[in-house]
Chain A
Amino acid sequence: MLARVAENLYWMGRQLERAENTARLVNATTQVLLDSPAGIELGWDELTRVMGFPNVNPSSSGVTETEVVRLLLLDQDNPGSIVVSLRHARENARSLREVLPREVWEQLNNLHLRAPALMTAALDRSRRHAALREVVDARLLLAGLLNETMSHDAAFQFLRMGALLERADMTSRIVDISSAVACTAPGGLGMETTWISILKALSAFQMYRRHKDVRVSPKPVVNFLFSDPRFPRAIRYCLDSVESILAELPAPADPLRATRQAARLLSKVEHSLELNDGLPVLIDEVQQRLCEVHNAIHEHYFAKPKSEAPEQAQTQSMADV
């Protein structure tokens, strides 16, 4: 497979996953807000901090819900907004039409065409849930098409690897905002409804109850989302999957090492939860390690040999990856 094609597939996987998880995140935040007792201040600016948009002035107390939601869903200049993620995914798919099943291209093209109207609808709180759900559903349909109609060849694996790494990163961000929001509630991390909303946003509520604990409390939830080996949105599951994909690819030594290092960090989660500020520090570290996995994959499979074209830098844009 061409290195350029592998890279485009990887990015397409990331961009699709980014769009899905942003939809989940905004939905969760909205739900939490609805459940909060009057007087609890949910900072929408927390959301922009967690998503890493430094261009939004964090000190201004005037960041409104509409502004943040627009930034995350619809903003044409924000490389991580849903419409832009989908546009980039579609542009990548356009360069991959000879590798992707035709139905995948058509479904993604269609989603891209519908996205601006859908996301405009989502600015309105009463229509937000349905509109974001539609993005998530369309993405899952794509995942199903890919899984069921594309050979599970190297092309498929690069796409999947991009999606898994992005998902791991986004799950860490979703945990980040949840704990930040829950901290502002009376009783610190104890606000149960917040954590239920978060689990639901990740479609994790039922699986958490079945496999982890009937009661919802912060430590087991964080533990579950970080370290569960069988739940597909848990960071551990994502990293294990990346590891087994890499093991099948040619000469994976460096990326494999980086992946294992990232996975080792996850065992520290229990300990971190005991510490003040332990969780935010761990989340930063996890994101750092994920970034190193990305760099190792990029260097190893996509980058041109140094002598050939040293000025050719990474051309894809993506928020803080």
Chain B
Amino acid sequence: MRCENYPKLPFYDELIDEHGVPRPTAKALCAHLEAQSAEELRARREAIDAAIMTMGISFTVYSDAGNIDRAWPFDLIPRIVPESEWKLIDAGLKQRLRALNMFIEDIYNEQDIIREGVFPAEVLEGSANYLTACEGMKLRYGAWAHICGTDLVRGGDGVMYVLEDNLRVPSGVSYMLENRGLMKRLLPEIFADQTILPLDDYTTRLYEMLASLCPRETDRPVIVVLTPGVYNSAYFEHSYLAQQMGAYLVEGTDLSVGSDDVVTMRTVVGPRRVDVIYRRVDDKFIDPEVFHKDSVLGVPGLIRAWRAGKVAIANAPGSGVADDKIVYTYVPDMIRFYLNEEPILPNVPSYLCMREEDREYVLAHLDELVVKPANESGGYGMLIGPKATEAERAEFAKLIIAEPRNYMAQPMLALSTVPTLIGDELSPRHVDLRPFILQGKEMSVTTGGLTRVAMREGSIVVNSSQGGGSKDTWIVKEDV
């Protein structure tokens, strides 16, 4: 197909090199696409759209006009990562999460990293995600953030950078798994020609990781997925994961904590003890006894039960302290401090507005930088300097001066592209990549991850809440 017409842009493309030639691991895919007519491709895409509707793979968009359940947008051209590169990424992700978990435990206990002058105490003082309720807690395997979704982006220089670590309630893994299912169902012939590493075992590993946290000696721990309910934007994922693991999907009102600090769920035969909670409810809502008094999503007494060691919670409360765009800038230092290793995956160069020198640079270069608030996620509340108006930049300058701790800035990245089917043609669209890393008794990383794609031409906003789509991600063995 149209690979030779594929536009050459000044970005790194994941499938096509700068001469317009498919990269070695993309050759088989491009040859296959070459052989398809526009009608055939269109038919495939319609089949995929119909399958997504039937399977009810959806997410909810919140808007003023009400909440809309939208079909999951999926592009059938996959993103390909060579296996040799993936091995390095895999090692880098594990290294990073290991250091982050050591950091969280240290922060709630001895605070060696602050005493040694590696991490400034004032960053912690301004942290909205630091929970005093976690002080003095030591967790099994030293694991706090048991499930981490790390966002990776490739810059114009071809280097893979870590953009952020999602340590609170990272979502997207179900879409990654469903994307692969769709590709195998609707384009089975592509899988025959080459070795694409499988990714089916994520939910098994997730189950085993959660089971490894069980505070009781038992063969069959009771594991539940705690969801805010059917109106949450990620509800599809919550039910999907519960279904795949054979776990109970519960809401806050299904659980209660007794005076013995044991957590039980309300069943038709009466209360039953719960051992492990995979919670998909934010920290601030999980226990109205401790946090938001008016939360109906949480369970009164849950923190008490957790502190008493009667129940395990993944991710542990308070893990969000390391999921903050300011703390992020210190992760390379954490890796050196705790592991005595050099970081395998680099951070995106960042400017901290709390540092006077950096702040002045940021304020003088707002038209070149992306400014992010410390604690927002989902692409909300950030400024993309080069695309913003003069008035928007002036507004942000005020925000930064008022609350410098709350902002950091990064150069506008020339995000890499992947060919994407727009109409009948392949057009480059910017992508990121979110692999998922598990840490319990053992560590593991998904084979690949969720590739999110900005469907609008030139856009770098990949969040599904803001018009992003997704692609299947292939880790492909190179020929030797």
Contacts and interface: CB of A to CB of B under 8 A. Distances in A.
Interface in A214-261: 249-250
A6 B268 CA distance: 7
B250 A98 contact: no
A95 B253 CA distance: 14
B247 interface: yes
A94 B269 contact: no
Contacts of A113: 53-54
B254 interface: yes
Contacts of A156: none
Contacts of B250: 2
A3 interface: yes
Nearest to B247: A98
Contacts of A249: 268
B266 A97 contact: no
Contact of B266 (A4, A91, A106, A158): A4
B268 A301 contact: yes
B132 interface: no
A109 B55 CA distance: 7
Given A97-B243, A98-B242, A98-B249, A3 B266 contact: yes
Interface in B48-89: 53-56
B248 interface: yes
A4 B56 CA distance: 22
Contacts of B242: 97-98
Interface in B199-249: 225, 230, 235, 239-240, 242-243, 246-249
Interface in B267-299: 267-269
Contacts of B53: 109, 113
Nearest to B69: A94
Given A98-B242, A109-B55, A4 B230 contact: no
A249 B225 CA distance: 26
B151 interface: no
A200 interface: no
Contact of B54 (A6, A91, A106, A308): A106
A98 B56 CA distance: 14
Nearest to B225: A98
Interface string A142-185: 00000000000010001000000000000000000000000000
B242 to A, nearest CB: 4
B182 to A, nearest CB: 13
Nearest to B255: A2
A3 B268 CA distance: 5
A7 to B, nearest CB: 9
A94 B249 CA distance: 11
Contacts of A158: 268
B265 interface: yes
A304 B255 CA distance: 12
A99 B249 CA distance: 9
Chain A contact patch, size range: 20 to 34
Interface in B91-119: none
Contacts of B239: 94-95, 97-98
B55 A4 contact: no
Nearest to B241: A98
A1 B247 contact: no
A217 to B, nearest CB: 45
29 contacts: A1-B267, A2-B248, A2-B254, A2-B265, A2-B267, A2-B268, A3-B254, A3-B268, A4-B251, A4-B254, A5-B249, A94-B56, A94-B230, A94-B239, A95-B239, A97-B243, A97-B249, A98-B239, A98-B242, A98-B247, A98-B249, A105-B56, A106-B54, A109-B56, A110-B54, A154-B268, A250-B268, A301-B268, A308-B256
Interface in A115-148: none
A1 B235 CA distance: 20
Given A2-B250, A97-B239, 18 more contacts: A2-B248, A2-B254, A2-B268, A3-B254, A4-B251, A4-B253, A5-B249, A91-B230, A94-B230, A94-B235, A95-B230, A95-B249, A98-B225, A98-B242, A98-B249, A102-B243, A109-B55, A250-B268
Interface residues of B, number: 25
Nearest to B270: A250
Nearest to A302: B268
Interface string A80-111: 00000000000100110111001001100110
Contacts of A2: 248, 250, 254, 265-268
B268 A1 contact: yes
Nearest to B269: A250
Contact of A3 (B230, B247, B267): B267
Nearest to A101: B243
A203 to B, nearest CB: 28
A94 B56 CA distance: 9
A250 B268 CA distance: 8
A90 to B, nearest CB: 8
A104 to B, nearest CB: 12
Contacts of B251: 4
Contacts of B249: 5, 95, 97-98
Interface string A264-302: 000000000000000000000000000000000000010
A158 B269 CA distance: 13
A158 B239 CA distance: 20
Contacts of A95: 230, 239, 249
Contacts of B254: 2-4
Nearest to A7: B268
A308 B255 CA distance: 12
A102 B240 CA distance: 10
Interface in B419-461: none
B333 to A, nearest CB: 42
Contacts of A94: 56, 230, 235, 239
A1 B222 CA distance: 12
Contacts of B256: 308
Interface in B135-169: none
A96 to B, nearest CB: 8
A304 B266 contact: yes
A102 B266 CA distance: 25
Q: Which 5 residue pairs are nearest across A and B when measured between Cβ atoms?
A: A98-B243, A98-B242, A97-B239, A109-B56, A250-B269
Contacts of A250: 268-269
